[in-house]
Amino acid sequence: MTGIRKPATGRRSGSRGERGSFGADLPPAGSGGAGGKHDPVSLPAGMLPVKLAGLLAPSRYKIAYGGRGSAKSWSMARALLLLGAQKPLRILCVREFQNSLGESVHRLLAEQIEELQLSHIYTVRKASITGANGTEFVFAGLRHNISKIKSFEGADIVWVEEGQTVSKRSFDVLIPTIRKPGSEIWVTFNPDLEEDDVHQRFVVCPPAGAMVQQINWRDNPWFSAELRAEKDHLQTRDIEAYENVWEGRCRSHVMGALWSKEIFAANRQSRPETVEERELLLETLRRVVIAVDPSGCAGESDKRSDEVGIVAVGLGHDGIGRILEDATGRYAPDGWAKKVLEVFDRWKGDKIVAEKNFGGAMVESTIRTARKLAPVKLVSASRGKVQRAEPVAALYAQGKVRHVGHFAELERQQCLFSTSGYRGPRSPDRADAAIWGLTELMLEEAPGEALFEYYEGLLAEKTADEAA
């Protein structure tokens, strides 16, 4: 094959005669047995980047990750088409969100069918691609089709595209579903955050025997001059963005993050080390609430469920909100109720604020079973996480919230909130609890007594400054 389409240019290549006729060298459309591991396909040199030649050999997991312009997706599409032309395969192409077929790899596969001159084998339809030998490509989104995905247990290969956006829950459902003997799971992704489930699952702790290959622009023999110019421009303008976009290195922070490490560092005070110091701190507070973000956790050994968020939050006479304690953990229902009351007593709380979306009235009942007259207020998440987080993040930016000590895991979760959504691998249980607590103390009361006292304090400070 003399002239292969350049995968990263976004432009059409030369005429059909210039591209050669690899399709004519494949076995007849009906040959090859169904199911089981496929035999390695022999290809002319240059059909795939050298680093991804392993795509054509059997392996349960095939992971290709790296920066833009590396030909990851192009190579996966080409390899799958060649394998599907050799023998009948059922191939499921998924991503986390797919609102329309235009968001899938359908178009990419259709283009490669033309480039490889495989039109005599494959028929491209609006919603599927089928082979004359029985091979079938099916396309689906994971987030809203988990129950449907479970019906694809007979798939030979699943290709997960844009794996950096796929949630842990989606992977946890998908992987055991693909259980046919000899079946394979292919994943392509551009690294985003170190905490992303796809990075932890397949790069940091890859399954035994997995083919895991990092590939970047310099490994793409068809890297275009246009993309090189874009790459060089970003490198001179924003080196951190360049490292992530083109070199495929994880970013140190979320783009458009609502919180930053600098915000916490600038608004931190020392943690009380003794009972006496805690009592002195309590004297500066006018209200304390214990905020709870329940989950379906069955106990400490339940690693599949999210933790129960438990955070103590105070509002000072100076109008400053304070994160006092993070007691989040894996508790059974009776266990988290006892922990909540323990924290409530330690900080002489006024109220327990608990989200009722998970469990409804059972949340209040669980607490009242442990203490009948506990003051409980149930709150409902009528808005999305980002919409609830943004006004609280604004309080931090204005210096109106301080952390009493260091809360590493809570602060990590807060830093994963962005204007486009929460980017963490699991539910932000700690952050959600803190947001509920600060909302109750600093946003729900406005423009009431708490807000009045806050501005009264500002006026007193201004008068004192002028007098001095």
Provide the pLDDT for residue 148.
74
| Strands annotated E in 77-177 | 90-95, 122-124, 129-131, 136-141, 157-160
Are 220 and 5 in contact by the 8 Å Cβ rule? The answer is: no
Collect all residues with Cβ–Cβ distance below 8 Å to 262 and sequence separation of at least 6.
Answer: none
Say whether pLDDT at 467 is over 90: no
Q: What is the pLDDT of residues 266-308, one digit of tens each?
A: 999 999 999 999 999 999 999 999 999 887 676 666 666 778 8
Say whether pLDDT at 44 is over 90: no
Say whether pLDDT at 33 is over 70: no
Element (H, E) at 315: strand 309-316
464: which 2 tokens? Answer: 């004192």
Q: Which residue in the block uniquely carries the two structure tokens 């990750």?
A: 65
Q: What is the pLDDT of residues 52-76, one digit of tens each?
A: 989 989 999 999 999 999 999 999 9
- Rounded to whole angstroms, the Cα distance separating 242 from 467 reads 53
One-letter amino acid of 242? Y
435: which 2 tokens? Answer: 């947001």
Average pLDDT over residues 87-96: 93
End-to-end CA distance of the chain: 85
> What's the sign of the alpha-carbon dihedral 158, 159, 164, 166?
negative
Q: Which of 370, 321, 363 is nearest to 345 (CA)?
A: 370
Chain-centre distance of CA 226, in angstroms?
Answer: 31
Say whether pLDDT at 177 is over 70: yes
Cβ neighbours of 280 (radius 10 Å): 11
Collect all residues with Cβ–Cβ distance below 8 Å to 122 and sequence separation of at least 6.
Answer: 81, 84, 85, 113, 129, 130, 131, 132, 135
Regarding beta strands 268-269 and 90-95, do their DSSP bridges make them parallel or antiparallel, or are they unpaired?
unpaired
Model confidence, pTM: 0.58
